[in-house]
Structure 1
Amino acid sequence: MNPEEQYDAIVVGTGISGGWAAKELCENGLKTLVLERGPMVKHIEDYPTMHDDPWDYPLKGELSAEDKKKYHVQSRVNWAPKEDVKHFFVNDLEHPYVETKRFDWIRGYQVGGRSLTWGRQSYRWSDIDFSANKKEGVSIDWPVRYKDISPWYDKVEEYIGVSGEALGLDVLPDGKFQPPMDLNCVEEDFKKATAEKFDDGRLITIGRTAHITDPNSTFEGRGVCQNRNRCWRGCPFGGYFSSNSSTLPAAERTGNMTLRANSIVHEVIYDDKTKKATGVRVIDTETHEKLEFKAKVIFLCASAMASVGILMQSKSKRFPNGLGNDSDALGRGIMDHHYKLGARAKVEGHLDKYYKGRRANGFYIPRFVNLDEKTKREGYLRGFGYQGTASRNDWSASIAEMGYGKDLKEEVLKPGHWEIGVTGFGEFLPHDDNRVTLSATEKDKWGLPQLDFDVEFKENELNMRKDIKKEIVAMFKAAGFKDVEPYEEPSGPGLGIHEMGGARMGHSPRNSIVNKHNQIHSVPNVYVTDGAFMTSSNCVNPSLTYMAFTARAANHAAKEFKAGKFA
């Protein structure tokens, strides 16, 4: 590569947002350099565990004692990393950060980022969500509404393939759906009981997930979901959406993309004379070589906290406290979603029924609280939804007592009884004193300051967590399930892996970092389109919204570029 080459655009990061920025910019004809701090991962070729089974590992997939030390933060999420997917998660000893208050920062540094391991649940925001801050006097108002983003949701859903059921709910707008996956028999019973026992709008539906389900649909290079439920290892069929299987290949096909892995972007270069960014400063992770790359447009898509860190390190005479930070809003309003709490129960009957395949999806219960006077709750604002699944457990319960011979052999061939479990995902308010800063003393192996998290659950969040458990217990009992048990495991913000905020969108540079087009107010050729721009958090998985805003911003940038605005 020639560091003196002038690119039209630079995209920092290759995950959910970075892949979309690369695709849209390249398809609009911009010569685009895409920088990723982690190593290269090629679709299919670099999915080493995609066909493995538990018995292929010495500990049935569990981490060794040595690896548990390396992944001590990543392991807080329980389901990851395991032996089959640890290579898609960071080594915490090599990538430390400071926890003034506990913050569970789950990361994946590689080409594709966390688009390789995301949960794929894909839900639209509504005007209820975009207007909540203004209506309730919380933080600042969003400068956009649903009508501004709706056509971009359409574009993204049709391109990535989102399966789901249309419901006609104001709080959860319908989209452009592939055929929905099926609920199983217990989930259908739960759906029926909920409709009969509650009259406040709560319902059960199949999750809306970024999986291709229509065998007659056409997605270049991708096939229909095979119901293997090994998605987090990288899907060789391309059945679920990832940057590696979809947007990055699309960008590459244009001939306009240059992709450079192992490249830590740590600063956006600002020119005081032109009042624009001129490029980025990079450290090669392998050689520690320091490089600079030039472009007319910069897209920060490094993941929310990483992009905030880059902006904080981008200091100049004009911006002594970080690029675009005229408001002292940079690093403030950090949010996540509630996680690791809900309920479990046992289900009687249906022993003559089972299901086919390993459905990579569950059921969803949309938000039903604080929507009107009837559903108003005391003690907290906003609301929550639930994600869950019902399944039959394995044969191990059958051998709790001693057995032998023919009876034992027949018993272990049968599945166990049905169980159901649900996890709540609740909204986190954008508190200004929930913030991230640069550590004044701690640095990483490349000499860069570590991020320091000072984020916590506050009264609104703590009160909501009580209701999340209470309501699902009531629903399970109303459905007639047995041995209903609420649960809440120790966690901190971050564990929902939906961290967002820190470079919020707003009307004015006096209280926000980016405008309605995701441009930094005072440096309009720098766009921030990952979770950092979020002004509130809603209670739904945010990735679909990141993609819609990124596609919108990239097309805006292309028009501005072609009009000579960034010359």
Structure 2
Amino acid sequence: MANVNIDARKAATYDAIVIGSGISGGWAAKELCEKGLKTLVLERGRDVQHVTDYPTAMKNPWEFPHRGTVPLATREQYGNIRSFMREETVHWAIKPDEQPFVEEKPFTWTRGYHVGGKSLLWARQTQRLSDFDFEGPARDGFAVDWPVRYADLAPWYSHVERFAGISGNRDGLPHLPDGEFLPPIELNCVENHLKNTLAKHYKDRQLIQGRCAHITKPTETHMMQGRGQCMHRSLCNRGCPLGGYFSSNASTLPWAAKTGNLTLRPHSVVHSIIYDDKLGKASGVRVVDANTLQMTEFYARIIFVNGSALNSNLILLNSVSDRFPNGLGNDSGLLGKYIAWHNYRGKISAQYDGFQDKRADGKNPSNGYIPRFRNVLKQETSGPASRFQRGYAVGIGGGRGSNANREGLGAELKENLLHPALGPWHVSGWMMGETVPTEQNHVRLDPSQKDKYGIPLLVTSAGWTDNDDKMTEDFITQLTEMFTLAGFTNIQAVDTHSNPGSDIHEMGGVRMGKDPKTSILNKWNQVHGCKNVFVTDGACMTSTATQNPSLTYMAFTARAADFAVRELKKKNL
């Protein structure tokens, strides 16, 4: 009988375990498998195979029986969940009983529980952080100092950009470093008009084409991945059968599988990480099978936690032992605290009566981007920006709609549909503000309520601050001014008062830092008190900056995986 137990444990033992298969989990799998480690990737949701499991990717509008609307009976199954409630994307939504949570304050938590996670659902915007961001907390007196600087991450940004495929311009902006870019997607005429207006009236504001994870000119590396050029279909949330945008499913997971070192296990809900008090390190993870509800244990020498920010917090908080009675690595008592996100409350729209002889040529899967211009070099001491800390970036999109005439029959109807009357140009902008992490904004485990897997419910306690309110007011004022200078009309700027988390950029709770007394992770994304556990998703972020964060997660993950393998070879783990 003893031999049976030994054999069973051996069969469940790997060199590395990765929790989560999304953007950062996929990168962990790729890097670890490439370096020769037998790697188990655990995904709590169902399997999604690239190309074959995108059921609506190639459908035309008339092929949806409800014209895109989700039938009432189906919507009722999802309760008050609104994410992906369209006929073409409802297959990505999760039902309330999958993972209920306690909103102590209103919070929007969007999850991607399937292989590939939110890498199939993201907005694909990829900007590097700069030293203005990494030095921000120490300079401005909030949070704690980052344990890294731009020079530490720059080569890893380049590493992931070349593999993922990032299009963009080399804009030469010190607060938004350039990267390894494929040819950019062009701005249209109304966006260029706003760009020229800003250049004429401001020294500190630039409108650039957003850097985005779309292949505009495939390299040999992309062709080796089996990926093709983005065709500007702008149907990205359905899943891209061309692999035109970066996702774990199209890129990192297949690459990892080619090594022969990958084991991918869907329907695997991670309950907790096992800490071995005798060894003084983590030995594996406990997993609940989503179909049978049976508990299984898997073992490994190193563990990467990439469950997405809030779920990674939940897993660590639920990983209790004699050594860590309050959660794995929680010697500082800060696990789950200093949760932050991005402020997308500010929105603006307008129209432009010029360029009546022009229309956009095709669709744009990306958008324009105004990098942060408030409190960049230092905290301003006078003027409107002195009223709040940090700042915001702005997404910009313009286009021209049509008013199709559906009258007539035969050739007349065909002509009306093919050559519709065009409306005026429209332009919109949206705010991407940095929220300042505070200890009060946190997540914790409910002491009594558990989900169907026997895992404590996560309590979210996160709200807006006065700083967020003032920043939103400034966005409305400044964007209204910019749009007015550009000659736009019918300008409508609003504070949507959307819930925290609506941006889908949750960060923090397992933050990096130099001092174990004020952080959970060191500069290698390694848990201070448990050296063979690494956290490289959004949970690791010390502060949020204003850039879309996914590229930074990828770079941190590749860097940490490289370090972990080197430490394994030195027998330090």
Partner of 2:526: 519
Kept in 2: contact 1:41–1:112 (CA 8 A): yes
Provide the secondary structure at the position in 1 that maps to 2:115. Answer: coil
Kept in 1: contact 2:75–2:85 (CA 8 A): no
Q: Give the distance between the partners of 2:185 and 2:443, measured in 1 at CA.
A: 40
Confirm or deny that 1:367 pairs with 2:367.
Answer: no
Confirm or deny that 1:251 pairs with 2:259.
Answer: no
Confirm or deny that 1:386 pairs with 2:387.
Answer: no
Aligned residue pairs: how many?
Answer: 558
Where do residues 372-521 of structure 1 align in structure 2 (5 Å cutoff)?
372=377, 373=380, 377-395=385-403, 410=416, 413-521=420-528
Q: Give the distance between the partners of 2:495 and 2:60, measured in 1 at CA.
A: 30
The alpha-carbon distance between structure 1 residues 345 and 233, as it changes in their structure 2 partners (threshold 3 A), is: same
Q: Give the distance between the partners of 1:70 and 1:535, measured in 2 at CA.
A: 37
Q: CA deviation at 1:65?
A: 2.1
Partner of 2:122: 118
Kept in 1: contact 2:163–2:221 (CA 8 A): no
Partner of 1:146: 150
Kept in 2: contact 1:348–1:418 (CA 8 A): yes
Confirm or deny that 1:168 pairs with 2:172.
Answer: yes
Kept in 2: contact 1:267–1:282 (CA 8 A): yes
Partner of 1:68: 75
**Structure 1, 60-69 or 478-487: larger mean CA deviation:** 60-69
Q: CA deviation at 1:74?
A: 4.1
Partner of 1:278: 283
Q: Give the distance between the partners of 1:119 and 1:554, measured in 2 at CA.
A: 25
Q: Give the distance between the partners of 2:570 and 2:480, measured in 1 at CA.
A: 57
The alpha-carbon distance between structure 1 residues 38 and 462, as it changes in their structure 2 partners (threshold 3 A), is: same
Q: Give the distance between the partners of 1:291 and 1:25, measured in 2 at CA.
A: 23
Partner of 1:328: 333
Partner of 2:159: 155
Where do residues 333-352 of structure 1 align in structure 2 (5 Å cutoff)?
333-352=338-357
Q: Give the distance between the partners of 1:9 and 1:506, measured in 2 at CA.
A: 24
Partner of 2:537: 530
Per-residue Cα deviation, 1:124-144 (whole angstroms, up to 9, x for no partner): 000010011111111211111
Q: Give the distance between the partners of 2:413 and 2:229, measured in 1 at CA.
A: 41
Query: Which sections of structure 1, spanning at least 5 residues, go unmatched?
Result: none
Structure 2 residue corresponding to 1:7, chosen from 14, 22, 26: 14
Partner of 2:238: 233
Per-residue Cα deviation, 1:123-169 (whole angstroms, up to 9, x for no partner): 00000100111111112111111000000001010110100011111
Provide the secondary structure at the position in 1 that maps to 2:272. Answer: strand
Confirm or deny that 1:49 pairs with 2:56.
Answer: yes
Provide the secondary structure at the position in 1 that maps to 2:340. Answer: coil
Per-residue Cα deviation, 1:482-509 (whole angstroms, up to 9, x for no partner): 1111023241111100001110001122
Provide the secondary structure at the position in 1 that maps to 2:469. Answer: helix
Q: Give the distance between the partners of 2:69 and 2:457, measured in 1 at CA.
A: 29
Confirm or deny that 1:265 pairs with 2:273.
Answer: no
Q: Give the distance between the partners of 2:175 and 2:402, measured in 1 at CA.
A: 37
Provide the secondary structure at the position in 2 that maps to 1:377. Answer: helix
Per-residue Cα deviation, 1:205-228 (whole angstroms, up to 9, x for no partner): 111000000146541210110110
Partner of 1:207: 210
Q: Give the distance between the partners of 1:216 and 1:545, measured in 2 at CA.
A: 22
Provide the secondary structure at the position in 2 that maps to 1:416. Answer: strand
Provide the secondary structure at the position in 2 that maps to 1:250. Answer: helix
**Structure 1, 14-23 or 435-444: larger mean CA deviation:** 435-444
Q: Give the distance between the partners of 1:92 and 1:69, measured in 2 at CA.
A: 11
Kept in 2: contact 1:456–1:493 (CA 8 A): yes
Provide the secondary structure at the position in 2 that maps to 1:415. Answer: strand
Kept in 2: contact 1:369–1:376 (CA 8 A): no
Kept in 1: contact 2:402–2:420 (CA 8 A): no
Kept in 2: contact 1:281–1:291 (CA 8 A): yes
Kept in 1: contact 2:37–2:261 (CA 8 A): yes
Provide the secondary structure at the position in 1 that maps to 2:519. Answer: coil
Q: Give the distance between the partners of 2:187 and 2:256, measured in 1 at CA.
A: 36
Provide the secondary structure at the position in 2 that maps to 1:42. Answer: coil
Q: CA deviation at 1:55?
A: 2.2
Per-residue Cα deviation, 1:24-67 (whole angstroms, up to 9, x for no partner): 00101111111100010000011111011232223321222233
Kept in 2: contact 1:101–1:456 (CA 8 A): yes
Kept in 2: contact 1:70–1:93 (CA 8 A): no
- Matched to 2:202, the amino acid is F
Q: CA deviation at 1:410?
A: 4.7
TM-score between both structures, scaled by the size of structure 2: 0.94
Kept in 1: contact 2:347–2:496 (CA 8 A): no
**Structure 1, 515-524 or 344-353: larger mean CA deviation:** 344-353
The alpha-carbon distance between structure 1 residues 71 and 473, as it changes in their structure 2 partners (threshold 3 A), is: farther
Q: Give the distance between the partners of 2:220 and 2:258, measured in 1 at CA.
A: 21
TM-score between both structures, scaled by the size of structure 1: 0.95
Partner of 2:4: none
Partner of 2:110: 106
**Structure 1, 21-30 or 133-142: larger mean CA deviation:** 133-142
Q: CA deviation at 1:375?
A: 7.9
Partner of 1:294: 299
Q: Give the distance between the partners of 1:392 and 1:423, measured in 2 at CA.
A: 18
**Structure 1, 445-454 or 527-536: larger mean CA deviation:** 445-454
The alpha-carbon distance between structure 1 residues 195 and 87, as it changes in their structure 2 partners (threshold 3 A), is: same
Q: CA deviation at 1:266?
A: 1.2
Q: Give the distance between the partners of 1:73 and 1:529, measured in 2 at CA.
A: 31
Provide the secondary structure at the position in 2 that maps to 1:552. Answer: helix
Q: Give the distance between the partners of 1:12 and 1:382, measured in 2 at CA.
A: 33
**Structure 1, 63-72 or 205-214: larger mean CA deviation:** 63-72
The alpha-carbon distance between structure 1 residues 556 and 286, as it changes in their structure 2 partners (threshold 3 A), is: same
Q: Give the distance between the partners of 1:488 and 1:74, measured in 2 at CA.
A: 22
The alpha-carbon distance between structure 1 residues 245 and 210, as it changes in their structure 2 partners (threshold 3 A), is: same
**Structure 1, 83-92 or 479-488: larger mean CA deviation:** 83-92
Provide the secondary structure at the position in 2 that maps to 1:378. Answer: helix
Q: Give the distance between the partners of 1:541 and 1:3, measured in 2 at CA.
A: 41
Q: Give the distance between the partners of 1:393 and 1:511, measured in 2 at CA.
A: 52
The alpha-carbon distance between structure 1 residues 417 and 559, as it changes in their structure 2 partners (threshold 3 A), is: same
Per-residue Cα deviation, 1:352-371 (whole angstroms, up to 9, x for no partner): 21122221011001111112
Provide the secondary structure at the position in 1 that maps to 2:256. Answer: helix
Kept in 2: contact 1:265–1:310 (CA 8 A): yes
Q: Give the distance between the partners of 2:55 and 2:140, measured in 1 at CA.
A: 49
Q: CA deviation at 1:198?
A: 1.8
Structure 1 residue corresponding to 2:310, chosen from 305, 320, 326: 305
The alpha-carbon distance between structure 1 residues 410 and 265, as it changes in their structure 2 partners (threshold 3 A), is: closer
